[in-house]
Amino acid sequence: MKDKKQILKRIKDIILNKEPSAKIYLYGSRARSKNTPDSD
């Protein structure tokens, strides 16, 4: 789980470095941690 948090933080840092006022929204089953083997 720590790897997931590190990846999300890195993505957030990259986006906010380019556009400090950016809003970042995650959606879908993976964002809700409800993904299944047949999820996209």
pLDDT by residue for the chain (40 residues), tens only, comes to 578 889 989 999 999 999 999 999 988 898 888 989 988 7
Query: Greatest CA separation found in the chain?
Result: 35
* pLDDT score of 2: 74
Long-range contacts of 17-21 (CB under 8 A, 24+ apart): none
* pLDDT score of 9: 93
CB 11 within 8 A of CB 19: no
Interacting residues of 24 by C-beta distance below 8 A, sequence separation 6+: 11, 12, 15
* pLDDT score of 10: 95
CB 4 within 8 A of CB 13: no
Q: Which amino acid belongs to residue 2?
A: K
* pLDDT score of 19: 98
Q: pTM, whole model, 2 decimals?
A: 0.67
* pLDDT score of 1: 57
